[in-house]
Amino acid sequence: MAAILPRNSTRQADALRYGNIARLTNRITGVVIVGFVTVHVLVQAMVHSGWFGEAVARSQFLLDLQQVPLVHAILFFSIAFHTLWGMKLFLGDLGYVYHYKTSLFVVGGIASLFALREALRYVGL
């Protein structure tokens, strides 16, 4: 007997799913935050302890990488998005219902403003 799949009469599966985009973005921003903090802590430990003298000389690019404006803009976007999306999920647990599309655009827009502010700071505006 062959399996019969349900009809896709509404074509919802063919459309862009904002919930999946939001969850993926939340996960990616979490990884960015954890990655930056890990590299930052390791580099600061190497710099401020006397044990890693030669390693500090070899990893100067990690110190320089932390000062790149694009890295700061990505980090600020990630922190803002991850925090605001977490607040949205918390409010959802309390019973407030928001549509994924609206939530994604609002949270993404606010997080983009944080990244833009950080990028403009390096330009001098």
36 falls within a domain: yes
Q: Which amino acid is at 106?
A: V
What per-residue confidence (pLDDT) applies to 42? 81
Residue 10 forms part of a structural domain: no
CB atoms within 10 A of CB 81: 26
Question: What pLDDT is attached to residue 87?
Answer: 92
Flag whether 2 is in a domain.
no
Q: Are 36 and 75 in contact (CB under 8 A)?
A: yes
pLDDT tens digits, residue range 59-102?
777 777 777 888 889 999 999 999 999 999 899 889 888 888 88
Domain of 41, in residue numbers: 17-123
- What is the distance between the alpha carbons of residues 121 and 125, in angstroms, rounded to a whole number? 6
Please report, for the domain that includes residue 96, its CATH number: 1.20.1300
Q: Is residue 27 part of a domain?
A: yes
Domain assignment of residue 11, yes or no: no
| Within a domain: 56 | yes
Q: Could you give the CA distance from residue 8 to residue 121 in angstroms, rounded to a whole number? A: 49
Q: How many domains does the chain have?
A: 1
